Amino acid sequence: MRKLFYVTTLTAALAVAALADIDVKATIIKHLKTSRDFTLKVAEQMPESDYGFKLTPPQMSFAEQLVHLSQSGAYFLSPMLGEKPHETQPASMNKADVIAFVKASFDSTIEKVSTLTPEQLSKTYKSEEGTMTGLDLLLGLLDHTTHHRACAEMYLRAKGITPAEYQF
């Protein structure tokens, strides 16, 4: 039993040491870049004529889904940056403008995340979602983006388009 305790303790200590070497910010940035690129692939797949398509009347259109998920960077980062979230919009809801907006929004979010300090990631913030650490806010950003991109993929399927293969 004593031997099992020491082996378990050593294994746990090694796991904690390995986690300490993880660069959380670099990992988040990597996933934001993957998310940007995959979102752009999904956006490119929908024909221009179907950017206003909705699965049901109360839902957002395909274009609105993409705009909404792209706006989330400013929303989730605002507590850490000490800013009020200011919702920007694309020039129009046509395909070219929405795609340009998605790219610019993700690029802005990636640039802002690259400037965050370890203190900002570990600090606790009050947000509309409750009290969260900076890391919680970044994970919320990734989760929110994934949710709305998955919704957009269902719009593609409803139009008979097979979405691009998932990237992680």
pLDDT level of residue 87 (50, 70, 90 thresholds): confident
Q: Where are the domains of the chain?
A: 23-158
Residue 99: per-residue pLDDT: 98
Query: What is the residue-averaged pLDDT of the chain?
Result: 90
Fold (CATH) for 23-158: Four Helix Bundle (Hemerythrin (Met), subunit A) (1.20.120)
Q: Check if the beta carbon of residue 41 is closer than 8 Å to that of residue 164.
A: yes
| Burial classification of residue 124, based on how many CB atoms lie within 10 Å of its CB (0-12 exposed, 13-18 middle, 19 or more buried) | exposed
Residue 14: per-residue pLDDT: 44
Please give the Cα distance from 125 to 80 (Å, whole number). Answer: 7
Residue 128: per-residue pLDDT: 78
